[in-house]
């Protein structure tokens, strides 16, 4: 038995477009097993989502889950976003960490006053390239090369077990990280919502400045999102840069 992990209310489990109601239920049950309470579901397949939510014995966590239209909406409060991905299929653009190294990273973020999200893709295809551009890092569950792809409910259980067991609260295994216990307002990490605002402002500037041909805009937008996450901006710095780009955009238009 373990108490609810410290800061467990600072971690949101995000399921992107889950299909199978059994998997949704299993993910929610694993959250209850390991003491996590914040679930967000992005663009679920409506009939299955209703079915999962109204199932007899559906855990509390499922009944109070947030339903979001976009991944950006689900992540808006989060300053650290970790995506889960079967990496065999694509070359990752973010740092990849093993699940065994995730607990100290989250602990560090929580100690700074941040909020984190752990994002799981749909059963068949996993997270898309666009989904991944919202992530600061990718988490790899160490699985066998012969059968790397896990069932969604089992993947959620394994990740939350690891975080609860390598507790977010105990001093265990936070090697090399000396995190302050009290949040430091000055170093609070920028939230995903702030980074999205900033990316938009930069986009508008790039467009107004005719930085690149129209057909490159989507690729640029993607690259900017990734870049902003690599910078690990503090919230005040993000606001400063946002002010600058808004000013530039206004200038370019007038």
Residues that bind a second copy (CB under 8 A): 1-4, 22, 26, 29-30, 32-35, 59, 88, 98-100, 140-151, 153-154, 157-158, 161-162, 164-165
Q: Based on CB atoms, which residue is closest to a second copy, 34 or 245?
A: 34
Angstrom distances, CA of residue 8 to CA of 35, 103, 106, 162, 167: 7, 12, 10, 13, 10
- Compute the distance between CA of residue 245 and CA of residue 254 in angstroms, rounded to an integer: 14
DSSP assignment of 84-121: E--GGGS--SS-EEEGGGHHHHHHHHHHTT--EEEEE-
Measured from the CB of residue 120, what is the shortest distance to a second copy in angstroms? 14
Q: Based on CB atoms, which residue is closest to a second copy, 40 or 141?
A: 141
Q: Based on CB atoms, which residue is closest to a second copy, 1 or 181?
A: 1
Helix axes 192-208, 235-253, angle to 10 degrees: 20
8 Å CB contact between 208 and 251: no
Q: Based on CB atoms, which residue is closest to a second copy, 60 or 70?
A: 60
Measured from the CB of residue 39, what is the shortest distance to a second copy in angstroms? 14
Which tokens sit at 67?
């339903």
Measured from the CB of residue 119, what is the shortest distance to a second copy in angstroms? 19
Measured from the CB of residue 248, what is the shortest distance to a second copy in angstroms? 44
């Amino acid at each position: 038995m373990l108490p609810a992990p410290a800061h467990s209310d600072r971690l949101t489990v995000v399921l992107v477009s889950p299909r199978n109601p059994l998997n949704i239920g299993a993910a929610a049950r694993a959250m209850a097993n390991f003491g996590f309470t914040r679930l967000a579901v992005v663009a679920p397949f409506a009939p299955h989502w209703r079915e999962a939510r109204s199932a007899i014995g559906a855990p509390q966590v499922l009944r109070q889950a947030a339903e979001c239209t976009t991944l950006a909406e689900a992540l808006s409060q989060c300053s650290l976003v970790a995506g889960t991905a079967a990496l065999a299929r694509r070359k990752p653009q973010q740092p990849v960490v093993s699940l065994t190294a995730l607990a100290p990273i989250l602990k560090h973020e929580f100690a700074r006053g941040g909020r984190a999200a752990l994002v799981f893709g749909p059963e068949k295809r996993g997270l898309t390239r666009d989904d991944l551009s919202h992530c600061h890092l990718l988490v790899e569950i160490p699985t066998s090369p012969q059968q790397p792809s896990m069932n969604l409910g089992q993947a959620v259980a394994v990740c939350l077990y690891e975080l609860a067991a390598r507790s977010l609260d105990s001093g265990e295994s936070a090697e090399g990280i000396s995190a302050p216990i009290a949040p430091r307002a000055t170093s609070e990490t920028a939230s995903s919502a702030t980074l999205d605002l900033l990316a938009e402002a930069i986009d508008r500037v790039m467009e107004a400045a005719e930085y690149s041909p129209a057909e490159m805009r989507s690729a640029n937008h993607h690259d900017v999102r990734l870049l902003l996450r690599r910078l690990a901006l503090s919230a005040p710095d993000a606001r400063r840069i946002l002010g600058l780009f808004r000013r530039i955009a206004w200038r370019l238009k007038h």
